[in-house]
């Protein structure tokens, strides 16, 4: 694979016929979390290998978003083990976790309405080398370039989602956690988000995705973890989906 002219590649080709197994970037073991007295996660176990797109799927209330927030440190009461690049981060505050190279794009997107597109993009700090430039982000999302001076209140839902993803790409984070990136978007925008995720994977980013739209997730993910009642109850690789589709329909209630 040849490097892109607009975005840096972060890995080199391996000589020889056999590629080594990608290393585990994120390893979650017995993760438990609480909102006040409500016990939400009950021993979540999964991992994400470098360069993968991994999706957490499950019905509403299964604990998917809480899992992402627990990893990034946005849940105060949590225990277990979360290792990022072989470093234990479960007891770290969220700002320190972010500076290690994990970025979280929430479902509500968090766009500052009083700032325009360019100001929103420039707001996050660089946490590690390798973040994308504004021009590289505009290459990924041409709509944003056209709306660079538009305030957040004037953006469509799709443009807000592009801006939310573009904003975390500037930070230099290598693990991107995306919470419901296609929620409420038109099919043409969903297709563009899918193409962006595929491009980011090609460029060496690792992505942990929470997504209700299983049809969309099946086009971008390498592996799936099924969540129910705050636990991982099953896992599938994408090539195994056809023979497990009835089981997935039962899990998801579709």
Torsion angle, alpha carbons of 71, 138, 181, 155, to 10: 120
- Return the pLDDT at 1: 38
What is the count of structural domains for the chain?
A: 1
Question: Tell me, what CATH number does 190's domain have?
Answer: 3.40.50.300
- Return the pLDDT at 222: 96
Tracing tokens 């997504």 back to the chain, one arrives at 211
Quick check: is 15 in a domain? no
Quick check: is 247 in a domain? yes
Quick check: is 91 in a domain? yes
Quick check: is 2 in a domain? no
Closest by Cα among 63, 60, 59 to 31: 63
d(CA 246, CA 254): 10
Quick check: is 6 in a domain? no
Residues 6+ positions from 38 with CB-CB distance below 8 Å:
none
Quick check: is 11 in a domain? no
- Return the pLDDT at 126: 87
The maximal CA–CA distance of the chain, rounded, in angstroms, is 54
CB 224 within 8 A of CB 235: yes
Closest by Cα among 74, 72, 96, 94 to 82: 72
The backbone torsions φ and ψ at residue 146, rounded to the nearest 5 degrees and listed phi first, read -70, -30
Q: 127 lies in which domain range?
A: 24-252
Quick check: is 3 in a domain? no
Q: Would you write out the chain's pLDDT as a tens digit for each of its 254 residues?
A: 333 444 444 444 444 445 677 899 999 999 999 999 999 999 999 999 999 999 999 999 999 999 999 999 999 999 999 999 999 999 999 999 999 999 999 988 889 988 999 999 999 888 888 889 999 999 999 999 999 999 988 899 999 999 999 999 999 999 999 999 999 899 999 999 999 999 999 999 999 999 988 889 999 999 999 999 999 999 999 999 889 888 888 888 76
Residues 6+ positions from 94 with CB-CB distance below 8 Å:
72, 73, 74
Residues 6+ positions from 151 with CB-CB distance below 8 Å:
113, 114, 115, 116
- Go through 24-39 and write b for each residue having 16 or more CB atoms within 10 A of its CB, e for each that does not: ebbbbeebbbbeeeee
d(CA 121, CA 125): 10
Side-chain-side CA neighbours of residue 239 (13 Å): 0
Question: Exposed, middle or buried by CB within 10 Å (0-12, 13-18, 19+), for 140?
Answer: buried
- Return the pLDDT at 14: 41
- Host H or E run for residue 44: strand 38-49
- Return the pLDDT at 124: 87
Quick check: is 114 in a domain? yes
Q: How far is CA 31 from the centre of its chain?
A: 18
34: region left, alpha or beta (phi > 0 left; psi from -120 to 50 alpha): beta
CB 45 within 8 A of CB 82: no
CB 156 within 8 A of CB 34: no
């Amino acid at each position: 694979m040849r490097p892109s002219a607009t975005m840096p590649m972060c890995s080199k080709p391996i000589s020889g016929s056999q590629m080594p197994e990608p290393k585990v970037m994120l390893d979650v073991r017995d993760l438990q979390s609480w909102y006040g007295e409500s016990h939400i996660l009950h021993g979540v176990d999964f991992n994400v290998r470098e360069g993968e797109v991994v999706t957490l799927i499950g019905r509403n209330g299964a604990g998917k978003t809480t899992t992402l927030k627990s990893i990034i440190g946005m849940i105060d009461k949590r225990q277990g083990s979360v290792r990022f690049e072989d470093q234990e981060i479960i007891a770290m505050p969220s700002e320190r976790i972010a500076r290690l190279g994990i970025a979280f794009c929430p479902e509500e997107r968090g766009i500052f309405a009083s700032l325009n597109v360019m100001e929103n993009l420039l707001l996050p700090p660089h946490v590690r080398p390798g973040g994308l430039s504004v021009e590289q982000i505009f290459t990924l999302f041409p709509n944003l370039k056209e709306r660079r001076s538009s305030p957040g209140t004037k953006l469509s839902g799709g443009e807000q989602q592009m801006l939310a993803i573009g904003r975390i790409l500037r930070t230099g984070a290598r693990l991107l956690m995306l919470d419901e990136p296609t929620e409420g978007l038109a099919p043409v925008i969903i297709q563009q988000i899918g193409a962006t995720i595929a491009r980011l994977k090609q460029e060496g980013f690792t992505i942990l995705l929470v997504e209700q739209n299983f049809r969309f997730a099946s086009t971008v993910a390498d592996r799936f973890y099924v969540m129910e009642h705050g636990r991982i109850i099953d896992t599938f690789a994408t090539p195994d989906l056809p023979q497990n589709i009835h089981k997935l329909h039962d899990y998801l209630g579709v």
